[in-house]
Homo-oligomer: A and B are copies of this chain.
Amino acid sequence: MVDDSPLHKPLRPKDGTAGIERPRALADSIPEQAGPLLALASRHVVSARQFDRATLEQLFRLSAQYESTPALMHLPLQGKILISAFYEPSTRTRLSFESAWHRLGGDIMSITDPKSTGMAKGESIQDIAEMFNNYGDVIVLRNNEDRAVYDMLDSLRIPIVNAGNGIDEHPTQALADLYTIFKWRPDLLDQDLPADQRIRVGIIGVPNRMRTVRSLLLLLARFPEAVDEVVLFTDEDSPFDPDQREELESAGLRLRVARDLDSELPGLDVIYINAIAWVGDGYEELGTDLKLSTQSPLKPGSIILHPLARGEELSTDLDPTPHNWYFAQARGAVFVRMALLTCMVRRVSEVMDTP
């Protein structure tokens, strides 16, 4: 190679990937239990509501083990086929799932062009489900209609993962969000956490119109003793569905709605920001004043999460700061999906420490 080119800099990890050294500490802080993971075998994963605390802890433990293991000695999904069906366009989530499946040794068939499918020709969702039964071992489905994934369940003989259904849910994104928080602070899993160690979480988004926010709130409600308060930032007058707020509060989550982001930021430990809301056939952006940059009055030591892709609401000048945990969050999403998929195809016993 010619050596005078800027192309020849050796590749090095960037500052923006804070957190990749921490999964080992998280894994060590959680005692292994086989039961909750074995119970995921052949289960559909449609809603964040399905996960209890013990299952979440064990999933995060396994995710952290995968993340801290550079190369797997054993590929537990060899010979297994994933049907990666993205009827709503998405590159990021699709590649994240497909990378997870490939790293476990499995094969993949992708559907990326909705117009080429039977669904576009008017085939029923039940017949598509029956087709999937014959061709693969697990389905990952993204669809812009809330009902599609639910309408498939009765026809399926293989498990399905909801990778985003309209404005309803995106449970594996929420798993990745919480996994990031616990990598940052494994002590938050301590059920006797002192009250002054609890975190205050700000969420910029609309709970009844953003699937990522809906699923995240459901998972946070499994850890009420770790959360002092959740502050929701939105311009909406009615940001909750009728029963949504009640379900969360009855689980012990303390919720408050606010509009002025900057006056709250100095008191928030975790800020979750999301650019995009699915509305009908298109995307809607949030209010323009709900933005983060290095000019924002962020609390020292606080972290920012974002499911990505981002728009102008999250300035790139935050990328090289310690507040940037959104890159770690994206990276971690692959390992969370590896953990979940391993369990769903009944192969978790092959990767547990105590067989």
Contact = CB atoms under 8 A, between A and B. Distances in A.
Contacts of A126: 316
A185 interface: no
Most buried by B among A11, A39, A103, A118: A11
Measured as residues with beta carbon below 8 angstroms from the partner, the interface class of chain A is 35 or more
Interface in A269-328: 283, 308-311, 316, 327
Interface stretch (A24-32, A86-94, A201-209, A231-239): A86-94
A5 interface: yes
A7 B50 contact: yes
A72 to B, nearest CB: 8
Contact of A1 (B43, B109, B155): B43
A34 to B, nearest CB: 14
Nearest to A14: B157
A268 interface: no
A110 to B, nearest CB: 7
Interface stretch (A129-137, A192-200, A240-248): A129-137
Most buried by B among A72, A130, A159: A130
Given A1-B36, A96-B134, A134-B96, A11 B156 contact: yes
A22 interface: no
A108 B283 CA distance: 30
| Shortest 6 CB-CB contacts between residues of A and residues of B | A89-B116, A99-B135, A123-B309, A102-B107, A134-B331, A118-B309
Interface of A: 1-2, 5-8, 10-14, 16-17, 36, 39-40, 42-47, 49-52, 55, 71-72, 75, 79, 81, 83, 86, 89-92, 95-96, 98-99, 102-103, 105, 107-113, 115-118, 121-124, 126-127, 130-131, 133-136, 153, 155-159, 283, 308-311, 316, 327, 330-331, 333-334
